Amino acid sequence: MIKKLEIMFRRLDLRTFFPFVMFFLISTFFMAAYIPWNISIFRHIIIWVVGFFLINFITKKGYDSYIEISRILFFISVFLIIFTFFKGTVTKGSKRWISIAGLSIQPSELLKSSCIAICANYIYENNLKHFFLSYFVSFILLITQPDFGSTLLLGSVMIIQLLYSDFKKEKLYPLFWLGLVFCIFVIIYFPHVRIRIKNFFLGNENILEGGYQGFRSVQAIKNGGLLGLGLGKGVFKKYIPDAYSDFIFSVIAEELGMVGCFLILYCFGYIVLSNVRKSKILKPYPEYYLILSSVFVIFIQAWINMASALWIIPTKGITLPFISHGGTSLLISFWTIIPIFISNKKYKKAKLSQCFGMECS
């Protein structure tokens, strides 16, 4: 009986890796199709190797080490974002990037991941003061860049963490109204947000005034059909700005068709559903909030990216985790999913305790 359980758990670990192996293959082949084999592709592969080593190293250290490092990274990211106000590079009206030793870094990505991790621990400890304070600081820093896509993502994860906690649900209503007031404020006082929303609702009539990306993205998806045009043979990707980062889903749809899109959807869906199911047995433990936070931030980020590509929401500068090109985004994605692997050890113990009536520690 025990032997069968050990075999089952080993298989579970392999199944956990499967979606990420698929992401690696898709992202690498698309980069190779976009850029001839050069240093950029080798750098991409090296980041993946480093990412897997990082997962293995932190998983061995365990939950407490992950939280402590995330707390340090949170303070570092706060400092770096403040630094971007003075030395940051302006891109599309936002100061999000800084250059360190020749490397371009986006501190807001680090802020999101570290904030969500430490707040998952605060919600387990029922430390609502530090929970809301950490999110408040993060929201202020993101808004001042401005980065409303990341603010929306962070706010969504915060609500999910509260919904899964013992926080009284009726207290969420004031947060809902506060969020609505914030959205109205953003629309009124930030012209580029107002223009994006206007272009989204006007659709084709306003293509040349800002709806260009969304319109071309939908054309690329339609052009791909069921099986796609073939790797590297996309046509509309040439006319989509940031095709291999913010609109990589459109490129995949045009070149691999609906089959490629469903493969990506399956991988993200598998990550979410399998880990939500696994989290049920972890409810008494701190890993419960951490694993839920990790999978939902990946899911929401993927949803925003794909929904923008399909033009069912206004376009946002949010990358598709593990697939969009970009070193910072990829490394932060690896850091975000580490709790999935950390929780495996506690999951195995909890599962055994259920089978044999033993106490799991």
Model confidence pLDDT, tens digit, residues 161-188: 998 888 877 777 888 888 888 888 877 8
pLDDT of 130 reads 93
Query: Is the confidence at residue 11, as pLDDT, over 50?
Result: no
- Over residues 283-287, mean pLDDT: 84
Kindly state the DSSP code that residue 238 receives in the 8-state scheme.
G
Query: Is the confidence at residue 7, as pLDDT, over 60?
Result: no
pLDDT of 93 reads 55
- Over residues 245-270, mean pLDDT: 90
248-252, 301-305, 314-318 — which is least confidently predicted? 314-318
pLDDT of 122 reads 94
pLDDT of 298 reads 92
Closest alpha carbon to 289 in 125, 145, 179: 125
- Over residues 326-332, mean pLDDT: 82
Query: Who wins on pLDDT, 317 or 127?
Result: 127
Instruction: Report the mean per-residue pLDDT for the chain.
Output: 81
Q: How far apart are CA 45 and CA 265, in angstroms?
A: 23
Q: How far apart are CA 187 and CA 32, in angstroms?
A: 40
Query: Who wins on pLDDT, 122 or 280?
Result: 122
Query: Who wins on pLDDT, 254 or 209?
Result: 254
Is position 359 within any domain? no
Is position 163 within any domain? yes
Is position 347 within any domain? yes
**Percent over 70 (pLDDT), the chain:** 83
Query: Who wins on pLDDT, 135 or 309?
Result: 135
pLDDT of 196 reads 74
Model confidence pLDDT, tens digit, residues 187-234: 787 777 777 777 777 665 555 555 677 778 888 888 888 888 888 787
Query: Is the confidence at residue 67, as pLDDT, over 90?
Result: yes
* Burial (0-12, 13-18, 19+ Cβ within 10 Å), 354: exposed
Give the bridge partners for 97, in sequence order: 89
Is position 217 within any domain? yes
Query: Is the confidence at residue 5, as pLDDT, over 60?
Result: no
Evaluate whether 222 touches 250 at the Cβ level (below 8 Å): no
Query: Is the confidence at residue 286, as pLDDT, over 80?
Result: yes
Evaluate whether 86 touches 42 at the Cβ level (below 8 Å): no
Other CB atoms within a 10 A radius of the CB of residue 5 amount to 14
Closest alpha carbon to 342 in 135, 152, 69: 69
Is position 23 within any domain? yes
Highest mean pLDDT among 6-20, 76-90, 140-154, 258-272: 258-272
- Over residues 51-71, mean pLDDT: 90
Is position 361 within any domain? no
Q: How far apart are CA 12 and CA 10, in angstroms?
A: 5
Evaluate whether 323 touches 27 at the Cβ level (below 8 Å): yes
Question: What is the domain range of residue 329?
Answer: 2-353
Is position 358 within any domain? no
Evaluate whether 131 touches 122 at the Cβ level (below 8 Å): yes
Question: 132: Cβ–Cβ under 8 A, 6 or more apart, which residues?
Answer: none
pLDDT of 123 reads 92
Query: Who wins on pLDDT, 12 or 128?
Result: 128
Is position 360 within any domain? no
Query: Which amino acid is located at 97 in the chain?
Result: W
pLDDT of 352 reads 62
pLDDT of 295 reads 92
Evaluate whether 103 touches 73 at the Cβ level (below 8 Å): no
- Tally of domains in the chain: 1
Closest alpha carbon to 55 in 70, 71, 66, 64: 66
If pLDDT is split at 50, 70 and 90, which confidence band does 115 have?
A: very high
Query: Is the confidence at residue 360, as pLDDT, over 70?
Result: no
Reduce the DSSP state of residue 103 to 3 states and report it: strand
Q: Cα-atom radius of gyration of the chain, to the nearest Å?
A: 21
* Overall size of the chain counted in residues: 361
Tokens linked to 17: 């890796």
Query: Who wins on pLDDT, 340 or 10?
Result: 340
